[in-house]
Amino acid sequence: MCKSPSAGWVEGACEVSDIVRFAGPLQSMVIEEGYDPIGWVALTGGAAQAVAAHELAQRLEFGKRRGFGSVKVAARIGDTRWQTSLFPQKASGGWFLPIKKPVRLAEELDFGDTVEGELELL
């Protein structure tokens, strides 16, 4: 069932957008000492809900989840585009978007900067 603005909860197919816009601080995480930290952005709120709806639709259509519950995306920040996967963050209900070092360098991003972009859900 999907929520219709005029009729409340109704039976039928849900319209899920293939494009999700996001904004959030670029965070860092050290996976292994001696290596550069990994950059990432947490998707929350409406962006997280849209990704979760897409993941559920994919799971229902194909009968299984992707590894780790991930969702394939084509990401864009500024002029830089790349393909990656989003990973669910169980504790917060959000999604983890890894930002590769070449993307951070190309877009001159530093940890703590607010990152704005869009994702095409694949």
* pLDDT, tens only, 90-109: 898 899 999 999 999 999 99
Instruction: Read off the pLDDT of each residue in 63-85 and give the average, rounded to a whole number.
Output: 93
Q: Is the model's pLDDT at 25 over the cut of 90?
A: yes
In this prediction, residue 44 carries a pLDDT of: 96
Query: Please, what is the Cα angle at 41 between 75 and 81, to 5 degrees?
Result: 20
Fold of 17-121: Elongation Factor Tu (Ef-tu); domain 3 (2.40.30)
Return the residue matching tokens 């001159």.
108
- Per domain, the residue ranges of the chain are 17-121
In this prediction, residue 62 carries a pLDDT of: 85
The predicted model scores a pTM of 0.81
In this prediction, residue 82 carries a pLDDT of: 97
Cβ atoms within 10 Å of 39's Cβ, excluding its own:
21
In this prediction, residue 39 carries a pLDDT of: 97
CA distance 37 to 101: 9
